[in-house]
Structure 1
Amino acid sequence: MRHANVYTIASKDIVFESFDGEAVVLDLSSGKYFGFSDSGSRIWQALSSGVDAQALIGLTAGASTIGPAELDGFVSQLVELRLLTRSDAPAQPLPGDLLAALAATSEPLNVSVHDDLADLIIVDPIHEVEEPLGWPAVKQAS
């Protein structure tokens, strides 16, 4: 049976870290990194850990409630950016602390894309450097 509303991180090149509740996601293959609003960070953490997207509808984020259209738009954006993909895995339970964390947020669901450091991020600092210069001087193709 397919669990159509369960997602997983799209590839091993997608890594993320949470800093004081704010998620920063990095795509090592493209060098792009992604920032989320505070509510977006909470939803990202739930979705990337396998919580069924439908379980997030109706939760309170800041002064508003997350509606189906808003959540669908956010999830679609994450899938389009190749950060998440559908999963056949069973849904994970909704974390108990998510409700309080979402209620304390103040911003609507949002993701921002940054590529200003892409050239440095995609350089392999061990193998792709000019020997005498070192990193971050990219080795020129022969």
Structure 2
Amino acid sequence: MQQLVYAVASKDIVFESFDGEAVVLDLSTGKYFGFSDSGSRVWEALSSGVAAHALVGQTAGTSTIRLAELESFISQLLEFGLLAPAADAAAQPISGALLAELADTSEPLKVDIHDDLADLIVVDPIHEVEEPLGWPAVKQAS
């Protein structure tokens, strides 16, 4: 695997970690994404500029991350528009703390997509006020 580095795909992609579980929200579509515990750690690494190849062979729970498994996971992140290749970015080192957290995981790499709150998420009554349209303005899907 070549040294591919990724970055968060757009400013509309925001994420937070709650008790070690990453939740990623696409503000433009209202979809949110939940990850398995190992998926959360891999997301954290990839979104912070760690090269994908640095994750292959790392311990994740009772197994190691295989190339095919990682490529499949990254493919989903690209398909969902969460990550984009960062061609000119320099790879960042993976921290020992993140490796230790990855080793403590118990679930295989997985990402789930949720759209049950999409209508509420795309309506932002604080920031999307349009005088001629009234309040709140609903973001139009592109």
TM-score (norm 2): 0.87
How far does residue 62 in structure 1 lie from its aligned partner after superposition? 1.0
Partner of 1:26: 25
**In structure 2, distance between residues paired with 1:61 and 1:47:** 15
SS, match of residue 85 in structure 1? strand
Partner of 2:80: 81
Gaps of 5+ in 2: none
Contact 1:22 1:36 in 2 (8 A): yes
SS, match of residue 26 in structure 1? strand
Gaps of 5+ in 1: none
Partner of 2:106: 106
Number of aligned residue pairs: give it.
133
* Residue pairs, 1:42-61, within 5 angstroms: 42-61=41-60
Moved over 4 A (4+): none
Partner of 2:8: 9
How far does residue 124 in structure 1 lie from its aligned partner after superposition? 2.4
The aligned amino acid for 1:58 is: G
Larger Rg: 1
**In structure 2, distance between residues paired with 1:4 and 1:26:** 27
TM-score (norm 1): 0.87
SS, match of residue 125 in structure 1? coil
